[in-house]
Amino acid sequence: LFKFSRPLRAEPSLAGAMKTIEVDGIKVRIQIWDTAGQESYQTITKQYYRRAQGIFLHIMKWVSDVDEYAAEGVQKILIGNKADEEQKRQVGREQGQQLAKEYGMDFYETSACTNLNIKESFTRLTELVLQAHRKELDGLRICASNELALAELEEEEPKPEGPANSSKTCWC
């Protein structure tokens, strides 16, 4: 479950950004969408956000929305951003870890300003998605290796010489 900050967007005008990362030797092109927080949750005031309890309620709602509307097997991780602003911390690291654990999610504290855990969190989520699609991936790998083996076989097979390159005109 991602809530992205502006520095991660390729362009502020774009709804989604594309990025290619490598996981387990597989190049994965990921598309990142930024949910418009305040548009969906207009009834929750900014003051409410400041309280950890409010933040937790908010996360519970996101999790249940994702579970309800996303495809089956959707992968989620929990991220607490602005880790560089330690003096303004609203939620303890352990509280975040605890909540993530309750939902069976990995937990990362990130900073879009200092780049803390940005790559790690994207890579972890991509890993989880790949793991969830292991069967399809294995299928793709088998197809690719079969094609490779076929190509190698074709290369090895001696090609009959054409009449232009040979003085022989028949196989007897």
Ligand X SMILES: Nc1nc2c(ncn2[C@@H]2O[C@H](COP(=O)(O)OP(=O)(O)OP(=O)(O)O)[C@@H](O)[C@H]2O)c(=O)[nH]1
Which residues contact ligand X (rule: CB under 6 A)?
3, 5-6, 34, 36-38, 81-82, 84-85, 111-113
Q: Report the nearest approach of ligand X to the CB of residue 144 (Å).
A: 38
Q: Report the nearest approach of ligand X to the CB of residue 92 (Å).
A: 17
User: Cα separation of 122 and 100, whole Å?
Assistant: 16
* Alpha helices by DSSP H, the chain: 37-40, 46-50, 52-69, 93-102, 118-132, 134-156
State which residue, 82 or 133, has the beta carbon closest to ligand X.
Answer: 82
Q: Report the nearest approach of ligand X to the CB of residue 124 (Å).
A: 18
Residues 135, 136, 141: CA angle, nearest 5 degrees: 95
State which residue, 23 or 109, has the beta carbon closest to ligand X.
Answer: 109
Q: Report the nearest approach of ligand X to the CB of residue 59 (Å).
A: 13
Which residue is nearest to ligand X, using beta carbons?
Answer: 37
State which residue, 42 or 165, has the beta carbon closest to ligand X.
Answer: 42
State which residue, 3 or 133, has the beta carbon closest to ligand X.
Answer: 3
SS (H, E, C) 127-160: HHHHHHCHHHHHHHHHHHHHHHHHHHHHHHCCCC
Under a CB-based contact definition with an 8 Å cutoff, are residues 135 and 93 in contact? no
